[in-house]
Structure 1
Amino acid sequence: MRKGEKHGGQKKKKTARVKKVLMNKKVGVWCRTKSGVICLPQPSAVCSGIRTRTACSVPQDEASTIKDHEFISWLRKKAGLEVCSSLTVGMSYHGRSLFSSRPIQAGERIMQIPHNLLITPDKLPKGVVTFLGKDASNYARLALFILAEQKLGQMSEWAPYIHCLPQMGTLHSTVFWTEEELEMIRQSAVHRETMHRKGSIKKEFGAVQQALHHCPHIFGDATFGSFMHAYALVGSRAWGITSKGLALIPFADFFNHDGSSEAVLLSDEDESFSEVIADKDYELGEQVSISYGKFSNATLLLDFGFTLSHNRHDQVEIWMGLSRRDPLRKCKIELLHSHNMLTLLDANGYDTGGNSFIIKEVRSPTGRGKGIPHSLRAFSRVLCACSTKELAEMATEAAAYDGRLARRPLKNRSREIQAMALLLARIETLIQQHVASILTLQFMESCKVKDSQLHIRHELAQSLLGGELRVLQSASAWLKHYCTTLSLRKQI
């Protein structure tokens, strides 16, 4: 008898509490409930294919249909219970997806996967582990698991699941983009993050090369390309489970992302299963989605390989730094550091005198400017100081209040306008760069690109830059209104 059957009354109460949380409260990435922990994918790698907010069902070829039926039969047999009676696997215009096989009501459990189906790093053969370097992460270990199971082919006990994973050449994370394709998004911080991510994957490959070299009978002729692809599958599909760490959960990773959904993967540690509870009603045949988290298009594109058309969580990274010609540069850096406002070092160890800040969409140009962080405004005020007296006044004011430097508007309105005008100028420059890049992409699209993969990446680049442009324009509008208001008050 399973624990859930023995304590049926308690289990029903737990499920009811989880439903109440989902129906009445927006959940975060690690929201704890009395039933367990709400877990979301940890996007530290790359993509599983294009997953968008909406996708309709498309006809499947016979081979895909047979493959999906085999997978569902295997899943039920291996789980020993019905895991998804209300869902069916199908194909949308954006790849393998899940659809309702009957009408679903909000609050219903629509998936239940026992933890014996979890694929964890400890499932690697012991002989392989002895050859792994200390730097081999759990993502790399799971990537090796996929490579080993792919080598086994039909002999693998996980074959029905492995065969359903996206094939090489079908992923659209920016780590798979060519140098020419990456030029399309050079204006975005995603470009720099992509370079960093590629370096990290190469380092991971180095940590497992000895295992690949000594175990060709397990991995076959595995190359960096095949490892990168497997690493990508893990990074976009693995889930954080408190007692298991990182794990692949067959079937659960077929859910696509809906930025407005409140449904997430729930992990019940006591009952040893993971489940999804519907956050809304679904009609028969409708695609069922969950939330991966409150991610911007920059994160979605780098980690998963897709974007949303109007992502309310979009954000832009903006760099602000001191000029090397500023006569007060040294004094300003010392003041910033003394108030925990750090500046970054360059590759040569030289203090850049600057830092990056994240701005989000400012919902109202006449509001309080929520979206433009106070730390960024404070940094601009310090940058604009033109005397040691001003710097000393900022330090005195910070000590008199909460210790945070330049968090309040400058008392001298002219100086406050200058500080915000400096920030506005930086944002306007970014706007011009984004507009130029988008126009270039639109011109390239007008040439009717025949390469379907390049066409997809053109659209992804435009979506990314368009979302960032919207954020920048909202910040610009707020700063212009703020400076205009201060100017009118000054005149009065």
Structure 2
Amino acid sequence: MSWLRSRGEDMNSIAVAIGMSKHGRALFAHRPMCAGECMIKFSQDLVLTPEKLPCEVIALLDQANEFTRVSLLVMAEKRKGQNSAWAPYIECLPSFGEIHSTIFWDPKELACLECSPIHRGTGERNALLQSEYREVKKVVESCPHLYDPDVSLEQFKHEYATVSSRAWGQGPHSDMTMIPLVDFANHDPRSRTLFSHADDNCTVVVASRDYQTGDEVHICYGDHSNAVLALDYGFVVPDNPFDEAEIFLEIPSEDPLREIKLQYMAQNNMNTLQDSNGTQTGGRPFTIMEVTSRGGKEVVVPSAARAFARIITSDSLADLEELNRESEVYGVVPFASRPRHDRRKEQRATNLLLALIEAHADEHKRAIQSLEATALRPERRYIAECVLQGELSLLLKASTSEIQRYGNDY
């Protein structure tokens, strides 16, 4: 706060104070505020953006994404020490080892989450970081006056995780920015606190509800599942209302109609995942989540997954042609707008979905049971448990809703 004051900021426009909560550093209201009132307002000069990198660094970067660019800016400012204009803020950023994002978990720890989509997501993120690190090495080796040329991959991952867990898609000139002070606020999925820019030169944060002096001020990092929070931020939320689960459907390689089914799907923009050669694999994941309907909230299997199941369980060319004709009559979502005319054929597709949901649920149960026998440190065991429990809950609800849906259709 003294740093903000020394930079000439109007402290009367900052209605929050920094304190400690059970989750670490946090923001608290230091006076009463009403919903819609400006709680933070300060100069855009305080914000870290990719454009503030030295010109020589910008010239060296080709494909680096904006998180990497801001990471390089933070690394350069760290190297300056107390000579950095952002030194008091940078000293408050997490130290190495304090972020529990799954990108830092070793293979044995990550194996606890093998049945969750976070396992694949973590692998993809680490592959991205390997690629971005090549850009970083090119820069740090070319600019030894700005960086330590021996920056390791693990050090870069820490800087990247620090930035990606704090950067916002804000600002008139940049997609990703780090906003000092604001990023001390903890996450609450129910918060609807708003960021805006009154003009090109200031950042504004508006209260989404009334606050009394001493109330903790939260912001929402996004409507993220625990899997996303664990990967991007290194924490989870109990009973997360935005949790998601996943099932994977695939046309068996031994299916004699496999190529024809793939053609039907391609014609209807239902492509499957591609392998390294660009060939359709015949499989793809589908996300299960809680949605709001006229009857309230319910967990549903996406119609695209049901369409895929109908294609997989078609057992003849004539059956596929019949399914295609039914789809043309109903329109909208290919193969998915209505249950099949033949109840027996619809039951086959439903049974496939139920079997997959049950198999995924059983995997999650076994993974949860095995957590007690693992050597995970407490913070990571808690993250793994919340991710797995949230997904398991959705899978169990999806199984029930799928049975009810079939009964209602017939």
Q: Do the aligned partners of 2:288 and 2:299 also contact (CA within 8 Å) in 1?
A: no
Paired residue type of 2:220: S
Q: How much has 1:273 moved relative to structure 2?
A: 2.0
**Counterpart in the other structure of 2:106:** 178
RMSD (Å), alpha carbons: 2.1
Q: How much has 1:191 moved relative to structure 2?
A: 0.7
Q: Do the aligned partners of 2:110 and 2:119 also contact (CA within 8 Å) in 1?
A: yes
CA distance in 2, matches of 1:328, 1:188: 30
**Residue correspondence of structure 1 range 390-409 to structure 2 within 5 A:** 390-402=319-331, 404-407=333-336, 408-409=338-339
| Cα displacement string for residues 332-354 of structure 1 (whole angstroms, at most 9, x for unaligned residues) | 11111111111222235443212
Q: Do the aligned partners of 1:361 and 1:474 also contact (CA within 8 Å) in 2?
A: no
Structure 1 length as normaliser, TM-score? 0.78
**Counterpart in the other structure of 1:224:** 153
* Residue 66 (structure 2) aligned to one of 138, 149, 162: 138
**Counterpart in the other structure of 1:263:** 193
* Residue 466 (structure 1) aligned to one of 382, 389, 393: 389
When residues 271 and 125 of structure 1 are mapped into structure 2, their CA distance, relative to the original with a 3 A threshold, is: closer
Q: How much has 1:363 moved relative to structure 2?
A: 7.4
When residues 225 and 428 of structure 1 are mapped into structure 2, their CA distance, relative to the original with a 3 A threshold, is: same
Point out where structure 1 has 5 or more consecutive residues left out of the alignment: 1-71
When residues 437 and 328 of structure 1 are mapped into structure 2, their CA distance, relative to the original with a 3 A threshold, is: same
| Cα displacement string for residues 198-223 of structure 1 (whole angstroms, at most 9, x for unaligned residues) | 11111111012122112222112422
| Cα displacement string for residues 154-193 of structure 1 (whole angstroms, at most 9, x for unaligned residues) | 1111101110111111001100111111011111011111
**Residue correspondence of structure 1 range 9-88 to structure 2 within 5 A:** 72-82=1-11, 85-88=14-17
Q: How much has 1:307 moved relative to structure 2?
A: 0.8
* Residue 167 (structure 2) aligned to one of 238, 241, 244: 238
Point out where structure 2 has 5 or more consecutive residues left out of the alignment: none
Q: Do the aligned partners of 1:79 and 1:114 also contact (CA within 8 Å) in 2?
A: no
Paired residue type of 1:203: S
Paired residue type of 2:390: G
**Counterpart in the other structure of 1:422:** 352
1:361 alignment partner, SS class:
strand
**Counterpart in the other structure of 1:154:** 82
CA distance in 1, matches of 2:300, 2:192: 22
**Counterpart in the other structure of 1:296:** 225
CA distance in 1, matches of 2:297, 2:97: 46
* Residue 366 (structure 2) aligned to one of 409, 427, 436: 436
Alignment of 1:206 with 2:134, yes or no, is yes
**Counterpart in the other structure of 1:476:** 399
| Cα displacement string for residues 131-160 of structure 1 (whole angstroms, at most 9, x for unaligned residues) | x23112222121111111111111111101
CA distance in 2, matches of 1:111, 1:403: 46
CA distance in 2, matches of 1:121, 1:98: 26
* Residue 47 (structure 2) aligned to one of 115, 118, 143: 118
Q: Do the aligned partners of 2:290 and 2:297 also contact (CA within 8 Å) in 1?
A: no
Q: How much has 1:362 moved relative to structure 2?
A: 6.3
**Counterpart in the other structure of 2:378:** 455
CA distance in 2, matches of 1:218, 1:91: 34
Q: Do the aligned partners of 1:363 and 1:474 also contact (CA within 8 Å) in 2?
A: no
CA distance in 2, matches of 1:277, 1:107: 6
When residues 85 and 344 of structure 1 are mapped into structure 2, their CA distance, relative to the original with a 3 A threshold, is: closer
Alignment of 1:383 with 2:306, yes or no, is no
Structure 2 length as normaliser, TM-score? 0.93
Between Structure 1 and Structure 2, how many residues are aligned? 406
Identity among equivalent positions (%) equals: 38
